[in-house]
Amino acid sequence: MLRRPLSNPRHTLYYTPHFPYATARCVEGYRVLLGIGGNIGDVMRRFNHLFCYLQRSRWVTILKSSPILKNPPFGYTKQADFLNAVIEIATPLRPEALLRYLLRVEKRFGRRRSFPDAPRTLDIDMIFYEGVTQEREVLTLPHAGWQERDSVLIPLLCLQQRGQR
């Protein structure tokens, strides 16, 4: 694992065998950007397990992933720093079906929902879903507030820079 501090001393990028990742395969399906995060337990290991789990899934194909960002929490700040990354996938699932699938994956990886912005083993958010814009009680696309969160912006920038090489 390679560790690279950023100009902000509270942010660090980590490079592992799966983060960043890019496939050269041509894949069909809707393009979706997922944000992943966690701050309970061995999150780095959990991210690698999640990557392998998603690679075996019939519902998603991993196209790219960013490096992992260590950054401070927001909202409820009396908790450990978070690790965050973004993963671009292709899926045949429509947004609500993909949301149900992702919630099941979170639960499989030990996610418990106690209060907003609480510490968590794994959080998976749909940031973008192939140009879909919607605001519903269960799902807002693009994800609300994504453009104000370093936990999304920095990994997304890394993903975009990697795609331009």
pLDDT, tens digit (0-9, with 9 covering 90-100), for 3-12 = 777 778 888 9
The predicted structure's pLDDT at residue 115 = 65
Quick check: pTM over 0.85? yes
Nearest Cα residue to 71 out of 59, 60, 82, 80: 82
Angle at 144 between CA 61 and CA 58, to 5 degrees: 15
Distance CA 155, CA 63 (A): 15
Q: What is the pLDDT of residues 28-62, one digit of tens each?
A: 899 999 999 999 999 999 999 999 999 999 999 99
CB 73 within 8 A of CB 79: yes
Helix or strand or coil: residue 61?
A: strand
- What 3-state DSSP class applies to 146? helix
CA atoms within 13 A of residue 114's CA, in its CB half-sphere: 8
For 85, the domain range is: 2-163
Better-predicted residue by pLDDT, 30 or 119 = 30
The pLDDT, as a whole number, for residue 165 is 47
CA atoms of 89 and 34, how far apart (whole Å): 8
Q: Which of 15-19, 86-90, 114-118, 122-126 has the lowest mean pLDDT?
A: 114-118
Task: List the CATH number of the domain containing 118.
Answer: 3.30.70.560
pLDDT at residue 1, as a whole number: 74
Domain count of the fold of the chain: 1
Q: Is the dihedral of CA 18, 144, 158, 62 positive or negative?
A: positive
C-alpha 12/C-alpha 4 separation (Å) is: 6
